[in-house]
Amino acid sequence: MADRACSGETHLFFPPPAERPRSRFKREASARAVCQSCPVLLECRTYARIHHEHGFWGGETEEQRVQAGFVPAHPVGASRLSAAV
């Protein structure tokens, strides 16, 4: 946690209520840019996959975790997720 690059950037990693697709795309692109410089990216990605986390973690969206076989307990955008698997 001490080494994370996203400190103070929570708004980039979790969607606000009723986020529209274009806003989500832009938010996740910004989050991905932060993750690319993070020294704990792989540890973060593994943690999110194992714990079925919501939001953007370790450079991955929820959809990407689903595609990797790690489904969140209550997925956001369930219709998009079902299309991804």
- Output DSSP code: residue 43: H
Q: Which of 15, 44, 49, 62 is in the footprint of ligand SF4 by CB under 6 A? A: 44
Q: Which is nearer to ligand SF4, 3 or 83 (CB)?
A: 3
Residues 8 to 27 in contact with ligand SF4, rule: CB under 6 A? 13
Separation of alpha carbons 56 and 44, rounded Å: 10
Separation of alpha carbons 85 and 80, rounded Å: 9
- Using CB under 6 A as the criterion, which residues of the chain lie in contact with ligand SF4 when the complex forms? 4-6, 13, 34-35, 38, 40-41, 44, 57-59
